[in-house]
Structure 1
């Protein structure tokens, strides 16, 4: 929004400099992004009247002008402008003058004829050519007839002004007008606001004067005011109005159009002027557009309308797109003698949608989109009529139609002073708060322990108590509010259990020496052949892509670890033989009758080779037991209890006898195993590879058991070693379970520390050695107690497994 400092002074007696006012507005929430002085650097440019024009004797494209630049003072100027005529009043830069851009005017001879000055174009005076009439964009600026001669041109055309560029937030549509900004300035400076006059006299309507307004869609048009003017004389608007419009960034066109634009910039109420005689029977209908209906807008483009768009029509068809742009057929021209002024309220959302769909954005639409003062429609129409009557451009007919189906009801909001002070951390008294809001033209009355605040129509953005508190803070001064840190919970958000677990798992594996990788979700269907999966394997039922990038990425993966094998293969080809990698990603399974597949999060890991050695540690093979140990530690770390590894069979992917299902109680989490030699060869890996793959949803479901802490023992423990000979097909886990049950409460720990095979054992047998730790919490154990428990353990092993004590 461009705000003219001189124009602003018409409504408020401003006693501060423009720079100080800009700072005050910015502190009040209306950010001044820039300031412009259009006449800065321009000197000695006056109005001059062209008395005589003669042809140049030595140049066909030059003319010699005799120009009066003051009473009895003439000067000769040679120019090449083609739009100059005798009797015109134009800006004249005399010798010694300075123009925009730093140009200094000196005496000169043009083709042998002396020239003492220059006739100026708008561009040479720093004006935007787009803000000038069409015939003056590329020629000399022509001032209106009757302009006094010999006066400084800067105040005449607004070059002595200061323009402030406001960066408004979307909720402050009220400040998209001079009066809106003036209200803020009056409140800040504590000055009275001077409202413009809307006084005019009227003439009685004739028998042929008829105005009828029908609103077929009151949900999209809540009010429509139409006022009739007759004996209209279309011509240029006064210099002062043109100057103000240019300062606001609006190009002057004609007095009627300029007045509608002027009132819009002044009050924020968009307006439109129809040629009354081009409207059939003076009948306006506000309705939705019919399907396939079109209109030729003022920019001479044909617009296709849709039933979502609101249009202004007469009985013959559309004459304007509501809130966006008028139609060419009802345009005001130099032949217009009667005008119907429109001042209406259209639904902001509908105007925005229409403007977007038509690719038309105008000053009117931008104001309707943000919401205007519905109570100001009639005032704006009266103001426009008064201006046209004052400049003698029209007579106002005593005929105005105000179709207002559901008049707006004033909003009243309860404001609690204690809440104001609590939020702002201030100590404002109730009457101070009331005074601040009254300065902003809110009506305030005390009610019990609070204030009942009636919101004026020009502030549709204020609707709740928090909005009023913001208004108090703005006018009180943000810079006066104490700097305090916020208290309480800043955000109510947080990670869910599965998200926390995912981070925990990744961190644990990374700390265990594994590298996280991310592989493609798209794979080649031949991956199942490389794994040796049978044709009836459910993993071969995959989700195919309709438009794959290549054959290598034609289906969605159903297993995660094959991608890890490709990572190990790629590294092995580059002579990086040892590796431990993991990935937490998703696999995809088709769902019958569903468009989208089922996505299952999966944790997979793969190891091969040996760990890095050091001066105090030898490399450790990363085999089945290495990965199993990492997995056991991971499950314990994430609070998963009752973990067991059950031998798995019937799987062609893994080495027979070196694969196990991972269970937590009765829940099967996944599988761990060493690759089958054939699969290892298919992936061109020359070392043993062990992989695991776990269903992360199930992992999440059984995780999170609380950690239990026990006090340090006060009494010493007793260590015993026990070596027994059992069949080789008996899992160590079953033997440990029997030992634990037989050892009772005083057996604190059991672990295998040796497996031994010898030719002296019977075929199919081997020795397993266990380290037992006995300890009681309330006493020191005796040798006799430990011996009895050891004997009981041995008897249980003999009973369950036929075990014998190794000698």
Structure 2
């Protein structure tokens, strides 16, 4: 909302309060002012001039030599090249010594041999808001009304001595979409009298008997409708003062009729609309629901297909406009219009918003209707617009306004119970009841009484629809009193360690463990497109393949609740890759939404899921060149994370998830329970997600929490030296390394129970020297005892036992044994 400081000062005395100070006070009260911008960008010394003569320049075809009366003793000779300069027009004249925006100083000049004593100015040269001016006002000179006094300062004439405050309103403050609302607000903040109501009454004439219009309300989407019939011919322009106020407010001046409706909307916050009365059959307005596939051509020339959820203004034969959104072309005001119907109404906020969204329309009027308009302003705004049209456009009333619906604003006011003691307790302040009464009075609220317990009854006017409960009134007291004046106090909180739920602790521990390993947490939308899960190659019977649709989605890309985290994480990866990142490792902990059936018959399940994505290549470091993330990067992160949670003896089995590569993925088990899966993405999935290379981990944290170990097993540090021996064996490819490690540990434990063995794989080799269908696996065997240092014989006996056991169970042979070489032992 663009707020004119000069216009506001007509209703509230702003003496001694600069625009900057007012902006600070408004921002502190919850109405954030984004900018304070003076309309004058450096204009000085520019006056109104009357062009007396205009003749062709003797030495230039596109220049004219004008004599201009600027109110001085003698007329000035000024050379001008504007096409619209002519004898008799009044224009802004920059005198010698004056300044224009951009620090341009005007001096005497000679143009093609002819002296020029100043400059005739265009709108752009004056720094006017040309983006909101009609095209004909921005081409050539900015022509002034013939009534403009010669010699008058243009800064005053065009209200360039004004300052505009750009206020960022929150959706609940619809009352401040008008000068009326700001007058109440500023008067309350400054402790000064609000003159809006007094000024409004002085500008409004007496009502006459109802006019010939007939109105029928046939829908609950309109609670009040008022119409005024007038004889009014088309007038090209509104007064200059009105145009300047519209420009300051960011509204384009068009013609007198449209400008009056916009001016009153800015003043009162009540949108108005004018119909050509001769286009309304039987002088009858019907407010009804649109018929299915009813067609209306709106004022923008677009053909709109309507449905039953939309509300239209109609006559007995046709629709005339979309209620609260846009009028129809079939009742548009034109140069041939002789009679008009001026509309002022209250349309249902939600219905107006949905209609605009479905048709892709948005307007200043719609913005106000969808936030809610003040019922008490409907008739006064209509009267105000009628009086302006009578005085400015020569219109004549055809009777008085016709009103249908509940119009008494007083009966619509709300009474809210209020306790001064509770107010102070909630604010942590000590504000006197007398000051609270004063604040309510300045805001335009009334106190209808209070009982012996100190409870007040506060009548809130209809313009403040955002105030519904006592806490809302407490907030009003706090912000008008000044939040900076309320002392800061720390709340008393009791913290219980047992109050932290296990699920929360698990998520927190997971975040810390993954971040410690260099992964970055991301937060993505829970909404995805309908086909987002199609890339995962899911079978049709899978609940992951059937996302839940939203009733009113933000867009087609955000139309369903996600069933899987991979599509969302893939979006993040693609964004990073497209912006020059070589790769990354990210994770997200979030809900997915799984329905038992569609359409929903019961609330869907919302499990907490962990999704991890490794994409692209690793970062370059001092010790390692960049390389593609591989299976073992993901396995290392997963193992470290689960181990930190207390899981031991993890097992890895081939995964059977449709989105994972069948030969480069694994599921993780602990004591026979599957905790999740990870691995390289299936090539078709990567192609569908447009990822060149990626690995993904998928874990159900709710299931994991149910199997979280209650106690952690901790082994003491060894007291005696450990001994390591490396052995390389050749086994068939189908035998997993995990089986070999387990068999090695079992062999040592079975033969020598006092000897502990920790076996790890450090190399896997296929190629020359290894038979086809086999592979070489090199294991590091670390042996120790709790009560002594092992002898060489004990170490060798244990290693021999491992080799014999592996040979017996899996047909393993020591690498090089078949060629006569000694077994590889160190």
TM-score bucket (shorter structure):
0.5 to 0.7
**Structure 2 partner of 1:401:** 402
Quote the offset at 1:271 in angstroms.
0.8
**Structure 2 partner of 1:142:** 143
Query: In 1, are the aligned partners of 2:276 and 2:331 still within 8 Å (CA)?
Result: yes
Moved more, 465-474 or 417-426: 417-426
**Structure 2 partner of 1:234:** 235
Quote the offset at 1:411 in angstroms.
1.2
**Structure 1 partner of 2:418:** 415
Quote the offset at 1:309 in angstroms.
2.1
What is the DSSP-based 3-state SS (H/G/I as helix, E as strand, rest coil) of the residue aligned with 2:104?
coil
TM-score by length of 1: 0.65
Could you tell me how far apart the structure 2 residues matched to 1:327 and 1:432 are? 51
Deviation string 1:15-64 (CA, Å, 9 cap, x unpaired) is 22222222222222222221111224211111111222222223222222
Deviation string 1:598-652 (CA, Å, 9 cap, x unpaired) is 999999xxxxxxxxxxxxxxxxxxxxxxxxxxx9xx99x9899xx999xxxxxxx
| Count of residues paired in the alignment | 598
**Structure 2 partner of 1:210:** 212
**Structure 1 partner of 2:12:** 12
TM-score by length of 2: 0.63
* Structure 1: gaps spanning 5 or more residues: 519-544, 551-555, 557-582, 604-630, 646-660, 672-693, 709-727, 737-750, 758-763, 765-807
Q: Cα–Cα, structure 1 residues 457 and 396, in superposed 2: closer, same or farther, change >3 Å?
A: same
Quote the offset at 1:72 in angstroms.
5.0
What is the DSSP-based 3-state SS (H/G/I as helix, E as strand, rest coil) of the residue aligned with 2:431?
coil
Deviation string 1:576-614 (CA, Å, 9 cap, x unpaired) is xxxxxxx9999x9x99999999999999xxxxxxxxxxx
Could you tell me how far apart the structure 1 residues matched to 2:608 and 2:321 are? 57
1:468 aligns with 2:473: yes
What is the DSSP-based 3-state SS (H/G/I as helix, E as strand, rest coil) of the residue aligned with 1:136?
helix
Structure (1 or 2) with the larger CA radius of gyration: 1
**Structure 2 partner of 1:485:** 490
Query: In 2, are the aligned partners of 1:31 and 1:168 still within 8 Å (CA)?
Result: yes
Q: Cα–Cα, structure 1 residues 47 and 414, in superposed 2: closer, same or farther, change >3 Å?
A: same
Quote the offset at 1:489 in angstroms.
6.6
Quote the offset at 1:273 in angstroms.
1.3
Alignment of 1:166-565 (within 5 A): 166-194=167-195, 195=197, 196=200, 197-200=202-205, 210-218=212-220, 220-232=221-233, 234-391=235-392, 393-404=394-405, 409-444=412-447, 445-447=449-451, 448-488=453-493, 496-498=501-503, 500-501=505-506, 547=535
What is the DSSP-based 3-state SS (H/G/I as helix, E as strand, rest coil) of the residue aligned with 2:480?
helix
What is the DSSP-based 3-state SS (H/G/I as helix, E as strand, rest coil) of the residue aligned with 1:24?
helix
Could you tell me how far apart the structure 2 residues matched to 1:130 and 1:413 are? 45
Q: Cα–Cα, structure 1 residues 495 and 319, in superposed 2: closer, same or farther, change >3 Å?
A: farther
Q: Cα–Cα, structure 1 residues 58 and 328, in superposed 2: closer, same or farther, change >3 Å?
A: farther
Q: Cα–Cα, structure 1 residues 233 and 485, in superposed 2: closer, same or farther, change >3 Å?
A: same
Quote the offset at 1:288 in angstroms.
2.2
Quote the offset at 1:423 in angstroms.
1.6
Could you tell me how far apart the structure 2 residues matched to 1:442 and 1:492 are? 47
What is the DSSP-based 3-state SS (H/G/I as helix, E as strand, rest coil) of the residue aligned with 1:29?
coil
What is the DSSP-based 3-state SS (H/G/I as helix, E as strand, rest coil) of the residue aligned with 1:124?
coil
Deviation string 1:431-454 (CA, Å, 9 cap, x unpaired) is 322221121111123233211111
What is the DSSP-based 3-state SS (H/G/I as helix, E as strand, rest coil) of the residue aligned with 1:260?
helix
Quote the offset at 1:96 in angstroms.
1.6
RMSD between aligned residues: 4.9
Query: In 1, are the aligned partners of 2:320 and 2:331 still within 8 Å (CA)?
Result: yes
Alignment of 1:34-113 (within 5 A): 34-70=35-71, 72-113=73-114
Query: In 1, are the aligned partners of 2:96 and 2:118 still within 8 Å (CA)?
Result: yes
Could you tell me how far apart the structure 1 residues matched to 2:213 and 2:21 are? 49
Could you tell me how far apart the structure 2 residues matched to 1:698 and 1:126 are? 67
Moved more, 14-23 or 242-251: 14-23
Deviation string 1:710-732 (CA, Å, 9 cap, x unpaired) is xxxxxxxxxxxxxxxxxx99x98
What is the DSSP-based 3-state SS (H/G/I as helix, E as strand, rest coil) of the residue aligned with 2:435?
helix
Q: Cα–Cα, structure 1 residues 165 and 704, in superposed 2: closer, same or farther, change >3 Å?
A: same
What is the DSSP-based 3-state SS (H/G/I as helix, E as strand, rest coil) of the residue aligned with 1:355?
helix
Query: In 1, are the aligned partners of 2:225 and 2:404 still within 8 Å (CA)?
Result: yes
Deviation string 1:310-361 (CA, Å, 9 cap, x unpaired) is 2212223222222122222222233322221111111222222222222222
Quote the offset at 1:254 in angstroms.
1.6
Query: In 2, are the aligned partners of 1:49 and 1:90 still within 8 Å (CA)?
Result: yes
